Amino acid sequence: MATISLYASQINQMPGLRASVNPSVAAYTPEQDSMARKALSINKSVCDLDEIIDTIRASTQIQERKIASLDALGRRIEQFAENAARIDNAVADLINKRKDEFYKEHSHLKPECEKGNWEKFCDGVASVGDWCAKNWKTALKIFAVVVLVAVSVVLICTGVGGIFAAMAWGALLGAGIGGLSGGILSAINGGSFFEGFVNGAFTGAIGGALGGGITSGLTALVGPATTLLGSIAQGAGIGAISGSLSNMAVTAVSFFIDNGTLDGSLGIIFSSGFSGAIAGGVLGGGLGGLSYKLGPAATTSRDAVASRADELRALPRSQQPRATSAAVDARTGRVYYGDSGSVPGNINRALQARMPEGGTHPWPVGNCAEFNAANTALNSGARIQDLVISTVKVRSGDAFPMCTYCREIFDGITVVSG
């Protein structure tokens, strides 16, 4: 800022002050003339005013000289202000030029208040670059997570299926869950939440993508299990393989990034693979059993028995059975129906071997809807271990749990209604 501008308000007041004084002095002269004229009309015999008039005239001359002096002073002030402004602006331009030259050679010394928006943006980019150079391992992990998440989102949005869809969902879920759990654990242990989040998201994204792809591929290769135990065993096996391989891959990648070599990593890699196999096997087995219990066959069974109950409710109440069941062959997808109220005449040998000899219920063994539906399925060529059964009450449509007879007969068989 030019120095003259700091005192501009004071300097600008000077012409106004001079202008206000000038009329006052100028107005004093006519008043003196008027006083002199009035004094001349006074009779000298009364009072001799010649000396007084001379004094008044002398005073008038003094005031006129003051006016001239004020005018000269005003002109000098204006000239001084113009010279000062010119010199000050020239000095300010020189200072700004020298300042620009200095900051051009020593940009790191330039204060923030002197920087423009573009310079601030460039400084921000440079700061990010410096951080990445100092923390290149963390930056590399962030870049990998961003790429995996972006690719996963594109794959999901385009409706891709199969292994690629499984990998995409695995990467997204792994990055989210791994990042949050890693950040929280790191903060609890006194570390940085950000560092823990990055590491967790990195391992979670890679492990989730690999695990999802391996699980999807092996499941498609092996095919669906036909029994509950088979589904559990198959899920455990696939989960163990998937967990082991994905853990080993993630550990190897992380070790290489941190150390720049894989020398000495075999023990750590195989240890992570073993822990991944155990965790994957337990989780895969549980999910395998759950998927069998709540999988496509269970859904088909529930939908089929609901439709069957709707048809039976259209009958007169006297002709409606108390319960109805739908048994689905998980291997073929065929549906078989059965109603309560009577024992079938041609009981299949597989059911005969499971029937209890007696009981405490007032109805006979084999009177239930589950029994009739399963008997029809077995006599049609289905295997009892492949059946998925659902039973409802006809009038309400509510699930109808098995009686003690049926619990013994269908032990180990999937009965969705309980």
Residue found under tokens 């150390």: 259
Range with lowest mean pLDDT among 57-71, 73-87, 165-179, 215-229: 57-71
Summarize pLDDT for 114-135 with one digit per residue, the tens: 666 776 666 666 676 777 778 7
Residue with tokens 């600008």: 12
CA distances (Å), 372 to each of 97, 309, 336, 339, 346, in order? 101, 15, 9, 6, 10
Q: Mean pLDDT score of the chain, rounded to an integer?
A: 79
Question: What count of Cα atoms within 13 Å lies in the side-chain half-sphere of residue 101?
Answer: 6
**What integer pLDDT is reported at residue 1 of this predicted model?**
45
Is residue 163 scored above 60 in pLDDT?
yes
With a cut of 90, say whether residue 225 has pLDDT above it.
no
Q: Which of 208, 156, 150 is nearest to 179 (CA)?
A: 208
- The string over 233-248, giving b where at least 16 C-beta atoms fall within 10 Å of a residue's C-beta and e elsewhere, is bbbbbbbbbbbbbbbb
Give DSSP secondary structure letters for 321-359.
-SEEEEEEETTT--EEEEESSS--SS--HHHHTT--S--
Q: Kindly list the domain boundaries of the chain, sorted by start residue.
A: 3-109, 136-293, 317-415
Residues belonging to the chain:
418
410 pLDDT higher than 60: yes
Q: What is the CATH number of domain 317-415?
A: 3.40.140.10
Residue 155, pLDDT score: 85
Q: Provide the whole-model pTM.
A: 0.48
d(CA 54, CA 62): 13
